[in-house]
Every structure is written in C-alpha cells, then in structure tokens.
Copies of this chain bind each other. A is one copy, B any other.
Amino acid sequence: MKAAILSVGTEILFGQIVNTNTVFLSRELNTLGIDVMYHYTAGDNSGRLSDMLKMAFRDCDLVITTGGLGPTEDDLTKETVCEVMGDTLEMHQESLDTLYAISKRRGYTLTENNFKQAMMPTKAVVFDNDAGTAPGFALSSDGKTAICMPGPPREMKRMWERRVKPYLLSLSDSVIYYRILRTFGIGESELETVLLPLIDAQTDPTLATYAKEGECSLRIASKRRTLEEAKVAVNAMAEKVAEIAGEYIYSFDDEDLHQVVGKKLIERNITISACESCTGGLLSERLVSVPGISKVFDRGLVTYTERAKMDELSVKRETLDAFTAESRETALEMVRGLKAKTGSRLCISVTGVAGPDAIGDKPAGLIYIAVSFDGREEVRVLNTGKTDREANRNVAVLHMFDLINKTIG
C-alpha cells in the first residue's frame, strides 16, 4: 500500500512549529509495511488542499491528513476531503452527544462553531477523540481511502493508537509485528556497528536504529501472513540482539527508562526519596508519572539555594565553601542528609552545572550524582560537554535512573 501524508497548518508554514506529526506517522506507516511516497503541508486553503489530494490519489491508495478539523472558519479539511471523495457532511449524532458531555463536564456552553466539529461525511467511519474535541474519520471511495485526524500531536497519537492503526491493520492481508528495544549507554553508530552482521543479513525481520537524546532505540519488525509467525520471527531476532548488546538494553517493549525503574521499585517495594539541584525536580516529576509510585516514592526535594541544601539536607557550610555547591562532596552530603531525614531505602541526589554558562572553573554539563542504598554509596560524575540547559538536565536525569537501575540490580 502506498500513502501520502498531508498536514494542514499555517503555523507549520511559518516555521513556528516543527511538524512532529509527520515524523511520527512516517515511522508508524513504515512499520505497518505502508510505503510513504511524500509529505505535503499547506495552510488552511481549500483549493491547494484539493489539488494536492487529487494529485496524491493518482499514485497513492491512502492519504492521511492531520489538522484543520477545529471549530473555526478556516478549518476546511473535512469539506475539502468530502468534495474530492464525492461525499457531503451531515451532523453525526454520537459526536454531538460527546461534545455536549464534554462541555457539561468542563462547565462551558457550546458556541455555534463548536457544532461544526460534529459534522462528518455521510459514508465515514468516525474515530472518536478521547483527548480533545475534534473527532477524526476514514472515508473510502473507488479503492482510495482518506483518513483525517486532528492536528494537536497528543490527540493525533491517541487516535492513531486506539482507532486508526487497528483500522489500517484490518485492511491489510499481512500482519506486521514489531518490538522496540531501548538502550542506554551506547551511541547509535556504535550500536549499528555491533549489530551490523544482523542488519546486513536482514530481509525479514528488519532492524533499524533511532537515536534519541542521550539514548538509542532499536526497532525489530516482521511482516508475515499471521501474527503468530511475525511474533516468532521478531522474538528470535530480539534474542540474537540481546546476546550481542544485552548489557545496554533496559527495555524490550519500548518503555521509558523511568517507567522501567519505577516499576522495579514498586515490585520490590524499595522506598525512594530524591533531592535535586540542577535538574530542578525533573526526576521527581518523571517518577510521579509512573502509575502506583505513591507506594514507594516518599518525597522529592528541590534544594536550589545553598540555604535550602543546608536547611533541608544538613549540608555543611564548610563543605559548600571548600568545594562549592557543584561538587562530589556536596552531592554526597546531600544524599546522606536525605537518608537521615527520610529513611528511604534508596536515596539519590544531583548537583552540577546545567548551563549555558560555566560556574567558576566548572564547565556547563559537569554534573554529580550520588546514590545511597542499603549502606552502599556511589557517586557518578558526568561531563556532557554540552551547554544546552535542557539537554544537560535531561541527560542527568537519564543517568540518575540508570544509576538507580544498576544499583538495585
């Protein structure tokens, strides 16, 4: 099957936002064995969108659109798709009921233009939106299918997972199965190099590496007649990969590192507290995103000032004066103070230079992490070499979770 992806949104043409929807959909479609022939982005302009839809359907079976389903006058995707596919819009009662329910729950009154969102093509398969107000749909005609989804990435992704992907799978006569392995501590080129014998020998399953900030994913995909066959092929390949690069793999099921670590803490009932300086609460924030973490996560302290480090964690004035707040010694005193205060079985601390500027002779990206677990202590020192504040904080938190993971074993 051949597909084109059409994005609607003036803010993309202005270069205001990066079109992450297209990146996401391209990967997903490729994994389903659907070839993406081109991407196209236009503003809310019916004529251009119509031209492009017609052109896309000349050599594609499937066109996926995102955006332009909102309630305002310039949201024209539905009207244009109807015109090209030879259908008309009518009020979709179920979508309207949902809009009423949402407005009631959130306590606002529907305005005239809200109703527009509940209008759907008469022959459409409607996809409900459980993360926003605009429903999506699939509309087929003469062997061609248009699928329209909302533009906000969170809504689009939810709809894709829950409704669109199952719909597309039901159209195909072969099945794709894939697993995404997540690694930490190895770069993309190095991972590709060690796996080269497997990659070069590949026809099916296929292997592909993807770099993310500070980590790297590996996708193993197989397309077979039955799900069972595809699963067997993918799992056998995952075992081969684990033999070669097992030490770097922290998830065989595309889970984030903080989810993997959080679950482990819950399963083993290991209580945890954290104190953060340069990461500003990012570790706590990620921990809290793990369902059920309240069972083991006692507290997080963001001790940003020297005074807070002394008050909350009994860091000594002399230590700060002699070694500065961004030091191995301060990281250790922080974690010891936290341990004394909370009694949590695992305590972790972080302090360092987030950037963009150096602090004294300490460069941006120099970060100290200390962990205390069952009487053992360890300090990990990072030097990211980066000046980007956000990147440094993100990499620091990945290392904190990696250190917790390795510490509890």
The reply to whether B24 and A15 form a contact with Cβ atoms under 8 Å apart is yes
Stretch from A90-98, A163-171, A182-190, A239-247 that touches the partner:
A182-190
On whether A16 and B210 interact (CB within 8 A), knowing A37-B42, A187-B108, A301-B300, the answer reads yes
The reply to whether B211 and A152 form a contact with Cβ atoms under 8 Å apart is yes
Find chain B residues with CB under 8 A from A213 CB: 152, 154
Chain A, 73-93, contact with B by CB distance < 8 Å: what is the 0/1 string? 010000000000000000000
Nearest-neighbour CB distance to chain B for A215, whole angstroms, equals 12
Nearest-neighbour CB distance to chain B for A355, whole angstroms, equals 10
Whether, in the assembled complex, A232 has its beta carbon less than 8 Å from a beta carbon of chain B, the answer is no
Find chain B residues with CB under 8 A from A307 CB: 298
Whether, in the assembled complex, A285 has its beta carbon less than 8 Å from a beta carbon of chain B, the answer is yes
Count this chain's copies in the assembly.
2
Q: Which residue on chain B has the smallest CB distance to residue A341?
A: B311
Name, among A305, A341, A354, the residue most crowded by chain B CB atoms within 10 Å (CB to CB): A305
Whether, in the assembled complex, A71 has its beta carbon less than 8 Å from a beta carbon of chain B, the answer is yes
Stretch from A118-126, A139-147, A327-335, A385-393 that touches the partner:
A385-393
The reply to whether B305 and A299 form a contact with Cβ atoms under 8 Å apart is yes
The reply to whether A26 and B13 form a contact with Cβ atoms under 8 Å apart is yes
Q: Give the docked Cα–Cα distance between A393 and B290 (Å).
A: 13
Give 13 pairs: A residue, B residue, CB < 8 Å, sorted on A. Answer: A11-B219, A37-B43, A38-B40, A38-B48, A70-B211, A111-B189, A154-B388, A279-B288, A293-B304, A297-B304, A299-B312, A300-B304, A301-B302
Given contacts A15-B25, A39-B41, A154-B388, 19 further A-B contacts (CB under 8 A): A12-B26, A13-B37, A14-B219, A16-B208, A38-B40, A38-B43, A70-B188, A72-B189, A72-B209, A106-B383, A107-B385, A113-B189, A131-B391, A280-B287, A281-B281, A284-B284, A284-B302, A294-B305, A298-B305
